[in-house]
Structure 1
Amino acid sequence: MAIQAGRGRALPLLLLLVGLLVLNDLDRTPLLSVREALYDQYQRQMPRARTNEPVIVVGIDSQSLVKHGQWPWSRDLVAQLVRKIQAGKPLALGIDIVFAERDRYSPEVLLARFPDLQPDALAALPDPDQELAGALNGHPTALAVVGLSKSLPGSTQPARPLPEFNPGAGLDQHLPQYAGALASRPLIEKSAAGEGLINASPSLLQANSERGVLRRVPTIATINQLPFLSLPLEMVRLALGGGAVVPESGAQGMTAIRIGDYRLPTQANGEVLLHFGRASSNYYLSAADVLAGVHPPEIFDDRFVIIGFNSTGLQDRIITPLGESLPGIDIHAQVIESLLSSQALQRPGWMSHLESATLLLGGLLLIATIPVLRPRYAVISFTTLSLLLVTGGYLAFFLGLWLFDGVSQVLLLGPVFILLLGNTLVAADRRRRNAELQLQYSREEAARVAGELDAARRIQMGLLPDPATLFADERRFSIAALLEPAQAVGGDYYDCFRLDEQRLCVAIGDVSGKGLPASLFMAISKTLTGVLTRRQADLGLAVRELECELNRENAEYLFVTAFIAVLDLASGDMEYVCAGHDAPILLRDGQLTRIDTATTAGPPLCAIGDYPYVADHLQLQPGDRICLFTDGVTEASNGSNMFGLSRLQSAILGSGRDELQAVATALRDAVRHFEAGHPPADDLTLLFLQWHGQVSER
C-alpha cells in the first residue's frame, strides 16, 4: 500500500514542478493572457477613484476642424491657442503634437510653392514657427517627443533632456533605450521648457499588439544615452520648478520614480502599471471654444493642460483594462493623476517568488491530503484552496494595489488535483470492487453456513422423539414435548423412551452456551443418556457414568443441567435424578407443587466432575401431571421483566385438563406474547408427562 501511494504521488509531484517552471516563465506561455485578464478584472471591480480633476484636455476635435480648417493648422493659430491657455496661468502645459517640419504657411514654403508671389510681400508676413516659439517662451511648457529604435531620415536628438538625473549603477540597462527621436523643429523646442516621450516601449507594443489593451506606460527612457521623462511626468517636473528626478532601484532594476515630494511605483524597466479610473468628459474642452473665448482664462489656473487630438482620424485610440476606448491624451491625464495621488499597481520582483511559494505549498498540501480523503472531501479541499488563492489576489489588490496572480496558480494546480483525484477514484473503485468481492464471498459463506446450520437444525430436531407417534397406542400415560432453539441450533434437549414394557424414561437438559458447540454437546448428552439409562439399572449410577463420559472429551469445558426420571408404569413410582436443573412442576388435583429436589440434587453435569449423584423417588397418583422445562421459559424477557415461575404456574393452572400438546403449545404462545417481539434469550423446551394409572386389559 505504501509503494502504491508513493507511485500515486510521484507523477503529481512532477506536474507540480512543471507548474513551477511555467509560473516562473509565465510571460512566454498562453497563461499570460489569463493573468492580464485577471488584473483587468481587478481594475474593473475596483477602479481608481477620480476625486478631483487636476488636468484639462484641450482637444482638437471635429468642431475645431470644422471652424478652423483641416489639420495641420498654421502654427500661428496654435500659438493663439497656447496664449489663450497661458493667460490662465496653468501649472504646466503639455502639447501632444510633434512639429517636426516647417509650417506650410511660412514665407519660405509659400514662396517655394508659389514662385510668382512678390518676395517682399512674403517677407513682411510673420513666421508661424516664430509665433509658436514666442508663445511657448517663458512658460512651463513641454513638447512631445517620439523615440525611435533606429535612426531614420528626419530623426534627431531632442534638445531638452533631464538636467539632473542619476540613474545609479546598472539601472540604464533596464530602461528603454532609443537611438534617435522625432522631435519638433529646433526653433520651437528651444523655446519650450522641456520635452517628454509620448510612445510606449517596444516590449509594451509587442505585448499589446494582439488585444490593443494599454496596461502600462514608461516613465523614463534614454535617447542616445540622455534621459527623458514621459510627457505627463515632465509636465509635473516643470510645474514643480524643474527639480531633480530621483529613481529608486533594487537588485532587479527600478522600483519607483520620485519627482519632488511625489512618488510613483514602477516596474524594473521603469514602466508604471496604471490604476485606471473611469473615463469622464468633464475635463475635455474643445480647442474651438478656447480660441473663441467661450471659457474664461481662470479655468486653467493651477491646472495641468494638455493639447492633443480628439477627432476621429487624427487621434490614437487606446483600450484600457476597464474596457473603455479613450484617446491617447487621456492616458497622460491618468498618469498625472496617479503621480499626484502616488497610486499605481505594484508587482515587485518578490511577488513572483511569493506566487511560486504558495503554488508549491498548495501543491504539496494537495499531494499530502487528497490521496487520504474521500472524493467528496477532496473536491471540497481543492475548491477551498482555489477560493483562498483567488480571494487572496482580490484582497491584496484591495489593501495595497498588489498584483497577486491566484488564478494562474489554480489553473496550474488543476492538473495536479485531477491526477490525484483520478488516483483516488481508481483506488476507491479498487476498494469498492474488493469490497464487493468480499461481500459476495461473505454472502456465499453466509449462505453456506446458513445451509449447514439449517441442515444441522434438521438433524438436531430429527434426534428428538415425537411422543405422539412413538406412544400413539399408549393409555397408561400421555407425553407432549416442544423445543424451539433461540438460534438455528440450540443446546436444549428432551427425550422419552421405554426401558422395557413397565418402565418409561423421560429426560430434559440444557447445555451451557448456544449455537453449534452447544448443539453438538446436546446431541452427545442425549445419546449417552439413552444408552446409559438402558444399560444401568441404578439411575444414580447411570448419571455418574454419564458425567464421566461427557467429561472425557470436553475441550470447551461445557456443562449441562439435566433432569432424568424413570417411571414405573404399573405402580406410579418415579425415580429421578436432578443435576442442577430447575425442579419440575407437579399438578395434582388442581394444585401446583414443585418436586422436591433439594435433598438429592447435584451440580450440573461436568461442572465439578466425579460427583456422587443419587436418585430420589416420588409416588405419582393417577391423573398427576408433571411439567419439565428449561430456563428459556422462566427467563424469557420483554426488555424489562422476565416471564418467571409464577407466570408459568398460572399458565399451567389456566390450561385446566386440556390435552397435553395443546397445553404445551399454549404455554409457548404465552411466552412469545410476553416477549413482545424481543428476540428469545435462550432455547425454549417443555415436556409434559401425565400418568393415568394402571389400565386393566379387556
Structure 2
Amino acid sequence: MKRLTSLGLTLLRAGRGLALPGLLLIGAAVTLHYSDSTPLNSLRQAQFDRYQRQMPRARESEPVIIVGIDSQSLAEYGQWPWSRDLIARLCTRILAGQPLALGIDIIFAEPDRYSPGVLGEQLKGLSRQTLAALPEPDAHLARTLASGPTVLAMAGVGNPLPGARQPAKSLPMPAGTPTDWPGISRFAAAVVSRGELEQAAAGEGLINASPDGLHSSTERGVLRRVPTVARINEQTFLSLPLEMLRQALGEAGTVTPEVGKHGMQALRIGDYRLPTQANGELLVHYGQASSNYFLSAADVLSGAHPAEIFQSRFVILGLNSPGLQDRIITPLGEVVPGVDIHAQVIESMLSGAALKRPWWMPTLELGALLLGGLLLIAGVPRLQPRFAVLSFGSLALLLIGAGYLAFHSGQWLFDGPSLVLLLSPVFIVLLGNTLIEADARRRQAEFALQLSREAAARTAGQLDAARRIQMGLLPDPQRLFAGEKRFSVAALLEPALAVGGDYYDCFMLDANRLCLTVGDVSGKGIPASLFMAIAKTLSGTLTRREADLARAVCEVEQELNRENGEFLFVTAFIGIFDAMSGELEFVCAGHDAPLLLRNGEISKIDTASHSGPPLCATEGYAFVSDRIRLQAGDQLCLYTDGVTEASNGNSLFGAERLQATLRANAGRSPAEITGALRDAVRSFESGHPAVDDLTLLVLHYNGQLLSAG
C-alpha cells in the first residue's frame, strides 16, 4: 500500500488535471486489495460462476456410481434410519461387484435401534436369553465393511461436542513428509461412526463443506469449494472422495502434498495430482449433473441391477430423499444432492481438473488494474473523445477476454470484469477532463528524461567500476613470475561488453608446480561476470586445498551448483604444470583443447578421452584427469571461443587462422604471442563489435637445465 500512496502523490504533482483520476485509481486499487470484504466479492464470484456455466467440465466418463436411499427405497423398506442389517445387505450387494472403493456418506454414530442393548432399554419385559439370541446388527455391518475397500464418513467439529471424538483411521504419511501443512483446515474433534464400524472400515473421510461451516465456502448458498484434507488433533485426514481414491490405489496411493511458502499448491495421490488453494481447499470445476450414475438403493437390494455394474468403479452410498439429503446449489445453477459433490471431486482428481486461483492471482489483477489505469491516464488526455471511447472499449474487451481465455486454457480464475468496473470511474473523469496543460506534459517528459540520463550515467559508472574490479581479480603473470627461469607465462582478457564471463588464473602451488586455468561462463554481461568471479575464486581455492586435481574440480562444480539459480554453466581447462619434470596434469570440462607448439608444428592436446561436460551442466559428474609431458621449448596456448568465433559479419576467425597466427609467431615470447593473436582477431573483425569475450594464456617451457644454471 506504500507504493500506491507514492503513486498518488506523484500523480498529484503531475498536474491538477491528473489528480482526481490518480486518486480514483488508488481508490480502485485499495478496493480491489480488500475486495473479499466488499460487495465486489459477490460480483467476482458471480463472474466465476458464469465461466463455469459457459464452460462446464466435460464429464466424458462416469467412474462413480451413486446408490441413493431415495423415496422409493424408503417406501419399500421403511423409514430412516434403516437397520444396520439392511445397510449390510445393501453393502454386500455392492461389494459383490468388486468396486474400486465403496464410500458411505452416512455417519453411524449411535447404536442400531434394533440392537439387543437398545431393545432391552425400550422393552423391559424381554429376558436376557431372548436378547442374547438376537443378532447384533452393528457386528453384521462391521463384518460387511471389513470384506472390501470401504470408507466411512465423518464430520469435523470446531468445538468438542457430546459424542465427538478423535477418529481412528488417520492418513499414513510416508517418511520425510511434513506433518504440519500450513493453512489447512483444523478441527478439535469429529462426529464419527461407532468404534466397531470404524475399525472394520478401510478408511475414514471428511464430508465437511468448509472449515468454518457452509457460509464461508458459499455465497448465497452456492458451493464452490470443498476441503481436500484437514487436521484433527494433529492427525491428518482426507475428504471422503479422496480417501476412496487412496484406498482404491492400495499401496500406490501415497499421499504427497505440494506445499510452498504460501501454503498448499496441490495434492498428489499416487500418480494423480489435484491443484488446491493455499488452505487445501479444492475449487471445484463442476460438470453438468446427470441422473445416469444414480441408482436407487431399492433396485440394488432387489437385484434389478447386476453386480457387474459396480466393477472397477467408485460407489458412493448416501441419502437421496427429500427431507433427508442436503441440497446443494452449484455454480452451474443446478440443485444437486450433497453426495453428488463427492462424485464431482473424484472425477476432478482422476482428470486433474480443478479451478485455480493461486496466491499470486490477486497481485496479477492488481498489476493489471494499475497498468490499465496508468495507460488510461497517459493516453486518454491525448486522444479525441471518440478514440478515447474506442481505447477504453478495447481495454475492457482485453481484460474480460483475458478472463475467459485464462479459464478456457487452464481453468485459471482471472477477474477481468471487476477490473473494468473499477476502471470505469477513472475513464469517465479522464474523458471529461479535456483541458490538459501541454506545458505540464512537457515538463514531466523533461523530468523523466533527466532521470533516465542520470540513471544511465550511474549505470555506466557502475559498469566501469565493475570492469576495473573484475580485471583487478586477474593475476599479472609477468609480475608474478618475473624471476622465474624455467618457464614464462603471459595472458590477456578483453570482455565483449563492459564486463564479461571469461577468466584465467595462474599461480604456484609450491616451489615447482604451476596451476593454469582458463574458463568461459555461459552468457555475457553482469550475470556472467558475477558467476565468473565465483568460479575463479572457487577453482583457485579448491585447487590449492585439494591435492587430487580431479577431486578438486568435482568440488568446484559442487560448490557452484549450490547457489546457481540462473542455471549458468562454465567450460574450463585446469592444469597443474610441474616445472621440474615438465609434466602437465589437466582436467578439461567442456572447454576447447589447448594448442601445443613444438618445433614449429602445432597440435591439439588430446582431451577427448578424458574430457567431461561443462561445470554445472551435469550435476555430480566424476571428472578424471589426464597427463602429458612438455619438452623444453614447447609453447602451450589456452584460449576461449571468443577467439575462434570472432566474426567479420560473413565468416568466423576459426581454428585454422588461430593455428596459422600461432605458427607465424613461433619462438616469440608469450607476451608477444598473446598480443599478436589479439591483433589478428581484431584486424579480422574489421570494426565489427566483438561477439564474445576474448581470453588467451600462453606458457613457454624453458626446461630443467635452464633452472639448474
- TM-score normalised per structure 2: 0.59
Tell whether the 8 Å contact from 1:92 to 1:141 is kept in structure 2 after alignment: yes
Superposed displacement of residue 232, structure 1: 0.1
Tell whether the 8 Å contact from 1:167 to 1:247 is kept in structure 2 after alignment: no
Tell whether the 8 Å contact from 1:58 to 1:285 is kept in structure 2 after alignment: yes
Partner of 1:555: none
C-alpha deviations, 1:590-644, integer Å up to 9, x for none?
xxxxxxxxxxxxxxxxxxxxxxxxxxxxxxxxxxxxxxxxxxxxxxxxxxxxxxx
Matched, 1:285 2:295: yes
Superposed displacement of residue 119, structure 1: 2.1
Alpha-carbon distance in 2 for matches of 1:339, 1:308: 20
- 3-state SS, counterpart of residue 336 of structure 2: strand
Alpha-carbon distance in 1 for matches of 2:280, 2:175: 14
Partner of 1:25: 34
Superposed displacement of residue 335, structure 1: 0.2
Alpha-carbon distance in 2 for matches of 1:12, 1:203: 40
**CA shift in 2, pair 1:393/1:166, >3 Å:** farther
Partner of 1:160: 169
- 3-state SS, counterpart of residue 432 of structure 2: helix
Partner of 1:314: 324
Partner of 2:471: none
Partner of 1:375: 385
C-alpha deviations, 1:330-355, integer Å up to 9, x for none?
00000000000010011111212211
Alpha-carbon distance in 2 for matches of 1:303, 1:4: 67
Partner of 1:417: 427
Alpha-carbon distance in 2 for matches of 1:349, 1:170: 22
Counterpart amino acid of residue 221 in structure 1: A
**CA shift in 2, pair 1:401/1:392, >3 Å:** same
Superposed displacement of residue 207, structure 1: 3.0
C-alpha deviations, 1:36-75, integer Å up to 9, x for none?
0111010111000001100000000000000000000000
Partner of 2:304: 294
Matched, 1:334 2:383: no
Counterpart amino acid of residue 81 in structure 2: P
- Among all aligned residue pairs of Structure 1 and Structure 2, give the percentage whose two residues are the same amino acid: 63
**CA shift in 2, pair 1:215/1:167, >3 Å:** farther
**CA shift in 2, pair 1:47/1:79, >3 Å:** same
Partner of 1:211: 220
Alpha-carbon distance in 1 for matches of 2:384, 2:81: 73
Deviating runs (4+, > 6 A) in structure 1?
2-5, 425-428
Match of 2:127 among 118, 137, 143: 118
Matched, 1:385 2:428: no
Question: How many pairs were matched up?
Answer: 427
Alignment of 1:340-359 (within 5 A): 340-359=350-369
Partner of 1:540: none
Alpha-carbon distance in 2 for matches of 1:283, 1:356: 43
Tell whether the 8 Å contact from 1:171 to 1:254 is kept in structure 2 after alignment: no
Superposed displacement of residue 4, structure 1: 11
Counterpart amino acid of residue 29 in structure 1: T
Matched, 1:105 2:146: no
Superposed displacement of residue 121, structure 1: 1.6
Alignment of 1:220-239 (within 5 A): 220-239=229-248
**CA shift in 2, pair 1:42/1:209, >3 Å:** closer
Match of 1:401 among 403, 411, 424: 411
**CA shift in 2, pair 1:210/1:41, >3 Å:** closer
Alpha-carbon distance in 2 for matches of 1:3, 1:101: 69
Alpha-carbon distance in 2 for matches of 1:220, 1:14: 43
Tell whether the 8 Å contact from 1:142 to 1:231 is kept in structure 2 after alignment: yes
Alpha-carbon distance in 1 for matches of 2:362, 2:12: 35
Counterpart amino acid of residue 238 in structure 1: Q
Tell whether the 8 Å contact from 1:216 to 1:274 is kept in structure 2 after alignment: yes
Superposed displacement of residue 9, structure 1: 0.7
Match of 1:10 among 10, 19, 25: 19
Alpha-carbon distance in 2 for matches of 1:3, 1:335: 51
C-alpha deviations, 1:565-606, integer Å up to 9, x for none?
xxxxxxxxxxxxxxxxxxxxxxxxxxxxxxxxxxxxxxxxxx
Match of 1:363 among 365, 370, 373: 373
**CA shift in 2, pair 1:27/1:94, >3 Å:** same
**CA shift in 2, pair 1:400/1:132, >3 Å:** same
Alpha-carbon distance in 1 for matches of 2:113, 2:435: 78
C-alpha deviations, 1:455-491, integer Å up to 9, x for none?
xxxxxxxxxxxxxxxxxxxxxxxxxxxxxxxxxxxxx
- 3-state SS, counterpart of residue 282 of structure 2: strand
Superposed displacement of residue 415, structure 1: 1.3
Alignment of 1:156-555 (within 5 A): 156-164=165-173, 172-203=181-212, 205-208=214-217, 210-241=219-250, 243-424=253-434
C-alpha deviations, 1:633-660, integer Å up to 9, x for none?
xxxxxxxxxxxxxxxxxxxxxxxxxxxx
**CA shift in 2, pair 1:191/1:10, >3 Å:** same
Alpha-carbon distance in 1 for matches of 2:179, 2:136: 46
Superposed displacement of residue 170, structure 1: 9.1
C-alpha deviations, 1:662-681, integer Å up to 9, x for none?
xxxxxxxxxxxxxxxxxxxx
C-alpha deviations, 1:74-105, integer Å up to 9, x for none?
00000000000000000000000000001000
Superposed displacement of residue 368, structure 1: 0.5
Superposed displacement of residue 357, structure 1: 1.3
Partner of 2:557: none
Tell whether the 8 Å contact from 2:42 to 2:219 is kept in structure 1 after alignment: no
Alignment of 1:628-647 (within 5 A): none
**CA shift in 2, pair 1:392/1:92, >3 Å:** same
Match of 1:96 among 105, 130, 137: 105
**CA shift in 2, pair 1:347/1:18, >3 Å:** same
Alpha-carbon distance in 2 for matches of 1:146, 1:182: 5
Alpha-carbon distance in 1 for matches of 2:280, 2:174: 14
**CA shift in 2, pair 1:165/1:418, >3 Å:** farther
Alpha-carbon distance in 2 for matches of 1:58, 1:167: 39
Partner of 2:48: 39
- 3-state SS, counterpart of residue 257 of structure 2: strand
Matched, 1:57 2:66: yes
Alpha-carbon distance in 1 for matches of 2:13, 2:308: 80
**CA shift in 2, pair 1:4/1:138, >3 Å:** closer
Tell whether the 8 Å contact from 2:66 to 2:317 is kept in structure 1 after alignment: yes
**CA shift in 2, pair 1:380/1:171, >3 Å:** farther
Superposed displacement of residue 246, structure 1: 0.2
Alpha-carbon distance in 2 for matches of 1:162, 1:420: 58
**CA shift in 2, pair 1:202/1:424, >3 Å:** farther
- 3-state SS, counterpart of residue 150 of structure 1: coil
**CA shift in 2, pair 1:425/1:182, >3 Å:** farther
Tell whether the 8 Å contact from 1:166 to 1:246 is kept in structure 2 after alignment: no
- 3-state SS, counterpart of residue 223 of structure 2: coil
C-alpha deviations, 1:362-392, integer Å up to 9, x for none?
0000001111212221111111100100001
- 3-state SS, counterpart of residue 58 of structure 1: strand
Alpha-carbon distance in 2 for matches of 1:170, 1:30: 37
Tell whether the 8 Å contact from 1:156 to 1:183 is kept in structure 2 after alignment: yes
- TM-score normalised per structure 1: 0.59
- 3-state SS, counterpart of residue 174 of structure 1: coil
C-alpha deviations, 1:260-300, integer Å up to 9, x for none?
00000000000011110000000000000000011000000
Superposed displacement of residue 203, structure 1: 4.6
